[in-house]
Copies of this chain bind each other. A is one copy, B any other.
Amino acid sequence: MPAPQRVTRAALTTAARAIAEDEGIDAVTISAVAAVVGVRPPSLYKHVGHRHDLLRLIADDAARELDEDVAALAGSTTDPAAMLTAIARAFRAFSARSPRASSLLFAGAALGTEGAEPQSEGMVALTRTLLSAVQATTPSDPLPAARTLTAWAHGFCTMEQAGAFRLGGDVDEAFEFGLATLVGALTAHR
């Protein structure tokens, strides 16, 4: 009689993400995740190839969740500037809620992704959602515009969570300043 499956991908993801947020990315080990899902370390290799796959599960889960947040804003406004502003704030809210997971969102190299791996489903969905939102704003060439906004939001949130803004000053104010500057410029012409 074959043994019933005791480890699901969802359980792995939940366990890995919880450990990441509670104890840091370095604590996301094969051993720790195995212990949480109630199995011995070697068993995990039936489901993942390497330890980095655990980080990829976290990143994909985070991308899906953030995509839901962003997609949920779709009908909230028809004003392009208001939409971009809402998306960026959703980014920051997610980053504050799940700092470790969000730090993995665009961290291909840290995930052992040496450039050859396909994008995760979650990232594909998130990218598509972001691009179509930006498209409504600057129909000419949405890709550079989307990359600009994403790069800024990702950089700001990453730096904020890493404690890089220590010179005093209001970090909320800096975020809103940057956001207004960028959204203003992106929606100004055409």
Contact = CB atoms under 8 A, between A and B. Distances in A.
Given A119-B166, A162-B108, A163-B115, A181 B103 contact: no
Interface string A73-117: 000000000000000000000000001100100111110010100
A31 B39 CA distance: 31
Contact of A103 (B109, B144, B147): B109
A150 B159 contact: yes
Interface string A116-150: 00010000000100010000000000011101101
Interface residues of A, number: 46
Contact of A156 (B99, B151, B159): B151
Contacts of A99: 109
A167 to B, nearest CB: 7
A169 B131 CA distance: 13
Contacts of A150: 155, 159
Nearest to A165: B147
Contacts of A119: 166
A148 B145 CA distance: 16
Interface of A: 24-25, 99-100, 103, 106-110, 113, 115, 119, 127, 131, 143-145, 147-148, 150-156, 158-159, 161-167, 169, 173-174, 177-178, 181-182, 184-186
